[in-house]
Amino acid sequence: MDWAVIVSDAIRSGIGPVAAVYALAAIGLNLHFGYTGLLNFGQVAFMLVGAYGVAASVSTYGLPLWVGVLIGLGSSVVLALLLGLPTLRLRAEYLAIATIAAGEILRLFYRSSWAEPVTGGVFGLQRFAVEFYDVNPIPRDTYGIWLVRYTSLDLWALSVAWAMVLLTAGVVALLVHSPWGRVIRAIREDEDAVRSLGKSVYAYKMQSLVLGGAIGSMAGMMLAIQNQSVNPDSYDPVVTFFLYTIVVLGGAGRVLGPIVGAILFWAILTFFDSALREAIGAGYVSSEVISAPEVGAVRFALVGLGLMLLMIFRPQGLLGSRKEMLLDAR
C-alpha cells in the first residue's frame, strides 16, 4: 500500500474547495442549530436555491454573475420567510418537518420537465462561471507541496472559498458575542425566560433562520461555481445530514466547530476511500469481501461508526461544550 498517496489524497480533500463549501454551509447550520436551537433539516434547500440563482441567471437569462449572486441570496431570504413565517411560532418539530420537505420538493421541482426551460431539468446547467475564472490572477500551472497539488483553477476556487469561510466565521463570531447573539443563545436554552424579558423570540428566530439560510446559499453558489455545473440531484437530503455530522464532529455552538469538522470529515472520508482501494489493489482485502464498487458505501459506514463512538465518548464534539448540546425543543 502506498501510504504517501493515501495521506496526500486525504490532505488534498480536507483542505480542498469542496471541504470549504461544506464548512461554509455548516456555519449557517451551526447558527440555526448550535446557537439558536432551530431544527433545520433542509439546509440543502438553501444551497439549492443559491446555486440555481447563480446558474439560471447567467446560463438561462444571460445576466452578469454578480447579479446571479444577488438573486441567489434573495432566493434564500424568500425561502427562509416561506418556511419560518408559518412554523417558528410552533414547536421545533414543525420547522424540522417543513425544512426537510422543502428540500425534497425543491429538488423534484427543479428537475421536473415543467422547470426544464429555466433549470435544465435532470440535465442541469453548465458553464456559467466563466466570469469567475476570467478574473483568476493565478498563472496556469500546477501548485502545491509534496503530493498535494492543485491546478490554478482549483487553487483559485479553493482560495476564494476558504476566504469566504474565514470572513463568514469572523462575522458570525462578532454576532454571537454581541447582544443579539446572547439573545439567540438564551432562546436555545429557555424561550419562556427570553419572552419574560420582553424579547420577541419569533423575530430573533426569523433573523437567525434568514441569516443562516443566506450563508447556506453562498455555499451552494460556491459549489456550483467551482464545479461549473449544477444538477438538482446533487442537492439531496443526505447533504444536510453530512452538514449535521460536520457540526457535531467539530462542536455545535462553536465558531470554529464547522471549519474543523469539515476538514476532518472530508479528510477521514477520503482516507478510508483511498486506503480501502489501495488494500483491495494490493490484495490485503479480498475483492470477495469488499469489491471496488462497494468502497463508497463502506467508507460512509466507517465514518458513521466513528461518529457513533464520538457521540458515546464525547457528544459535545471536538471543540464543543456538553452544555451546547442541550436543546430545548419545545
Write the single-letter amino acid at 29. L
- Which of the four pLDDT bands, split at 50, 70 and 90, describes residue 231? very high
**What does pTM read for this prediction?**
0.92
Higher pLDDT, 24 or 287: 24
CATH architecture, domain 3-325: Orthogonal Bundle (1.10)
Q: What is the pLDDT of residues 233-253, one digit of tens each?
A: 999 999 999 999 999 999 888
Task: Please tell me which residue, 326 or 253, carries the higher pLDDT value.
Answer: 253
172-to-158, 177, 178, 216 alpha-carbon distances in Å: 21, 9, 10, 13
Whether the predicted pLDDT of 36 surpasses 50: yes
Mean per-residue pLDDT over the chain, rounded: 89
pLDDT per position as a tens digit, 140-192: 888 877 778 888 888 999 999 999 999 999 999 999 999 999 999 999 888 88
Computed from CA positions of residues 31, 264, 136, 224, in that sequence, does the dihedral angle turn out positive or negative?
negative
Flag whether pLDDT at 102 surpasses 80: yes
pLDDT for 323: 62
pLDDT digits (tens, 9 = 90+) for 269-311: 999 888 888 888 777 777 777 877 888 888 888 888 888 888 8
At residue 142, the pLDDT reads 83
Task: Please report, as a single letter, which amino acid is at residue 270.
Answer: T
CA angle 207, 223, 43 (to 5 degrees): 35
Predicted confidence band at 330 (pLDDT cuts at 50, 70, 90)? very low
pLDDT at 146: 75
Q: What is the DSSP letter of 147?
A: T
**Cβ atoms of residues 158 and 20 within 8 Å:** yes
**pLDDT band for position 23 (cuts 50, 70, 90):** very high
What is the Cα–Cα distance from 210 to 32, expressed in whole angstroms?
9
Predicted confidence (pLDDT) per residue in 46-80, tens digit:
999 999 999 999 998 989 999 999 999 999 999 99
pLDDT of residue 324: 53
Q: Report yes or no: 216 and 47 within 8 Å, Cβ to Cβ.
A: yes
Percent of the chain scored above 70 by pLDDT?
A: 97
290 phi-psi bin (left φ>0, alpha ψ -120 to 50, beta other): beta
Query: Which residue's entry shows cell 460512509?
Result: 300
Burial 117-151 (b: 16+ CB within 10 A, else e): ebbbbeebbeebbeebeeeeeeeeeeeeeeebebe
- Extents of the domains making up the chain: 3-325
Judged by average pLDDT, the poorest of 21-25, 67-71, 108-112, 137-141 is: 137-141
Partners of 230 in the β-ladder: 125
Helix (H, G, I), strand (E, B) or coil at 229: strand
**In the predicted model, is pLDDT for residue 31 greater than 60?**
yes
What is the per-residue pLDDT for 159?
93
- The average pLDDT across 81-99 equals 89
